[in-house]
Chain A
Amino acid sequence: AQSVTQLGSHVSVSEGALVLLRCNYSSSVPPYLFWYVQYPNQGLQLLLKYTSAATLVKGINGFEAEFKKSETSFHLTKPSAHMSDAAEYFCAVGRGGADGLTFGKGTHLIIQP
C-alpha cells in the first residue's frame, strides 16, 4: 500500500519569499514521486518527477524538490514566490504498477502581495 500526506491544506507566503510545500509518503517499494500544479478550472500539470536518478529534482517555473529516503519526504521548494504561483499543488506517489498514482489531498498556495 502507498499513501501521501501533504502538511497544510493552505500555505500563504509573501511575493518574493521562499515557498516550501511539504510532502511525506509511504510505499512498500521504491517509489516514483511527482508534484503537479492545478490552476483554477484546469487539469493537472506536471511540475517535476523523481524516478530514482538524482535526489534533487528540478522542475518547471523554478520549482525543485529533494527526495530524502530517510525522512520519506519529497518537499517542493521555490526560492522566490511569484504571484503567478498561486494554485493548488498535489504530491503523488506511484510504485511503477499498472494502477494510477496515489495523490495527497493538495495544498493551496496563496501569494500575498
Chain B
Amino acid sequence: NAGVTQTPKFQVLKTGQSMTLQCAQDMNHEYMSWYRQDPGMGLRLIHYSVGAGITDQGEVPNGYNVSRSTTEDFPLRLLSAAPSQTSVYFCASRQSSNQPQHFGDGTRLSIL
C-alpha cells in the first residue's frame, strides 16, 4: 500500500518557469490538501479538495492552481515561479473531515 506519493522529490526552477507537483493516493480518500512548510512557520494550507471536481483555497493560495479530475490525483501547479515559493511542499489525504491526514514525503522546491 503506497499511501500518498509525491513526485518529484527535488526540483530547482528559475524565476518565471512553471511546473506541476504531482500527488497521488491509493486509499480512495475524498479529502486531499496541499501544504507548504517553511522554517519557523509550520505548515500552511495552500489548496484543498473534498472530492473530484471540487477544490477550494486555503490560507496561502496565491501563485498556485489545483485541479481534481480523479479521486486519486491532486496536482499543484506553479504558474510563474517566484523565489518566495522556495519551500517544501506536502500533499495529504484523509478519509473524512475528522480523520487524521496521511502525508506524502514532500517535494523540496528551490526557485532561483
Residues of A participating in the B interface, judged by any CB pair closer than 8 Å: 4, 9, 32, 34, 36, 41-46, 49, 51, 90, 94, 96-106
A113 to B41, CA, bound (A): 29
Nearest CB in chain A: distance from B104 CB, A: 6
Verify if B42 is at the interface (C-beta below 8 Å from A).
yes
One of B12-20, B76-84, B94-102 at the interface: B94-102
Interface residue count on the B side (C-beta < 8 Å): 25
Determine the residue in chain A with the shortest Cβ distance to B6. Answer: A43
Main secondary structure of the interface of B (DSSP, over half): strand
What would 12 A/B residue contacts be, using CB atoms closer than 8 Å? A43-B4, A43-B104, A44-B43, A94-B97, A96-B97, A98-B31, A99-B45, A99-B48, A99-B56, A100-B33, A101-B45, A103-B35
Residues of B participating in the A interface, judged by any CB pair closer than 8 Å: 4, 31, 33, 35, 40-45, 48, 50, 56, 58, 90, 92, 97-98, 100-106
- Asked whether, in the complex, the Cβ of B101 is within 8 Å of the Cβ of A101, the reply is yes
- Asked whether, in the complex, the Cβ of B106 is within 8 Å of the Cβ of A43, the reply is yes
A99 to B59, CA, bound (A): 10
- Asked whether, in the complex, the Cβ of B90 is within 8 Å of the Cβ of A103, the reply is no
Q: Given known contacts A43-B104, A94-B98, A97-B97, is B48 in contact with A9 (CB within 8 Å)?
A: no
